[in-house]
Amino acid sequence: MKIIQVQTQAEAGGAQRISDMVGEGLRARGHEVRTVFMYRKTEVYDRDPHADFILTKPPRNLPGQIRAAIGLAGYLRNARPDAVVTFQHYGNIFGTIGARLASVDLIIANQSGAPQTRGVRGILTQIDKLMGTFGAYHANVVNSSWTEAQFDSFPQAYRRRMSRIDHGVPAPSVAVDKAAARAAFGLPQEAWLAVSSGRMAPSKNQIALVGALVHLPDIHIAIAGTGPEQDAIVAFAEANGITDRLHLVGEVPPSRIFEFLAAGDAYAFSSLTETFGLAAVEAAISGLPVVASKLDVLREVLTIGEGEAAALFVDADAKGMAEGLTELIARPELAARLAAAGRQLKEQYSPARMCAGYEALLLSRSLPHGCNPVDHLQSA
């Protein structure tokens, strides 16, 4: 099949990591897959041979957004794919509209956020509800049991199009030496170092991690990522005299994320809202003990099959994160147990299993009527 994945912005984010894995997995299964970004935000996909951009810069106003939407529709009309897979709020909306205008046979949307009731996100939720209810897209993917439950109040016509496909999470292919990793990112060799990764946005709440440094004078924290909160984070660190123990390494491409994680003694994740928490699960699989905010969805995905937690869950504020990191330092046996549990998540979140789930949805439109696509995959 010829498949186009639609993303909103080109940057090193969780949704983009998922489409990378889906694209790679489906290409390995013989499909032709490209990913089109409505706009280029950073350079991370500039050398990707399977990526295209509608706009080379983020749109600054409504005319720019209209140009991105019209450009996307034209791209899909010219590409004439068999299927379109969309990601993120705007990617779902404009990707679905463009795919409908291009008469695409199969449209699969992904829910990367829980329904909202206020502001712009509330408006986007209402648009999504209408699109899903009236069949604008044919299938609608959710990535966890918690996320699926957030749509319980939506109309039956919306929910019957939902399919649960847990995110695949890659595992490191080679061991990386901690000293070499720290040298590669300019991090201190002797310090006890907590690492974190993710876009610097209010919902990711990295300010709580930086605040933990105020309570813990003997540790360092390194954060991989960029975003609108970076200036506020730097200003907070300067105001509290902790800049020498905060290391902002910038955007780390997916190909180097495990190298960055290898530099840490622990992973800290203070996010305020998630539908899966890919970055935290990735860190756990890499073998780092994880301190995470006690969101219900994180408790779900950071638990191995036997019910054992693969993270220490704390309040998502500076005091809570500091207490969690302090406990890991004081109890090395706890850190070792969490790290061992985290490594077991590798089988639970296999990228191959995720890609098989997407292929089952794709094949469901091309198989004979009444044939179960999952049975077809297993027999194949």
Indicate the pTM of the whole model: 0.90
Among 73, 76, 140, CA closest to 108: 140
280-289 pLDDT, tens digit per residue, is 999 999 999 9
CA 330 to chain centre: 31
- State which amino acid sits at residue 309: A
Write out the chain's pLDDT in tens, 380 residues: 999 999 999 999 999 999 999 999 999 999 999 999 999 999 999 999 999 999 999 999 999 999 999 999 999 999 999 999 999 999 999 999 999 999 999 999 999 889 998 999 999 999 999 999 999 999 999 999 999 999 999 999 999 999 999 999 999 988 999 999 999 999 999 999 999 999 999 999 999 999 999 999 999 999 999 999 999 999 999 999 999 999 999 999 999 999 999 999 999 999 999 999 999 999 999 999 999 999 999 999 999 987 899 999 999 999 999 999 999 999 999 999 999 999 999 999 999 999 999 999 999 866 444 444 444 443 33
- Closest to 281 in 3D by CA, of 292, 270, 296, 295: 292
Q: Is the dihedral of CA 1, 10, 37, 96 positive or negative?
A: positive
Residue 70: alpha-carbon gap to chain centroid: 27
**What are residue 113's phi and psi, to 5 degrees?**
-150, 150
> Listing from the earlier edge strand, what are the strands of the sheet with 83-86?
51-55, 32-40, 2-10, 83-86, 106-110, 139-142, 162-164
Single out the residue of 144, 142, 8, 26 nearest to residue 88, CA to CA: 8
Residues 95-124: tens digit of each pLDDT? 999 999 999 999 999 998 899 989 999 999
**Residues with Cβ < 8 Å from 347, sequence gap 6 or more?**
none
Contact present, 318 and 214 (Cβ < 8 Å) = yes
User: What is the share, in percent, of the chain residues with pLDDT greater than 90?
Assistant: 92
Contact in structure between 139 and 164 (CB atoms under 8 Å): no
- Which residues face 223 on adjacent strands? 196, 248
Backbone angles phi, psi at 317, to 5 degrees: -135, 175
* Identity of residue 329: I
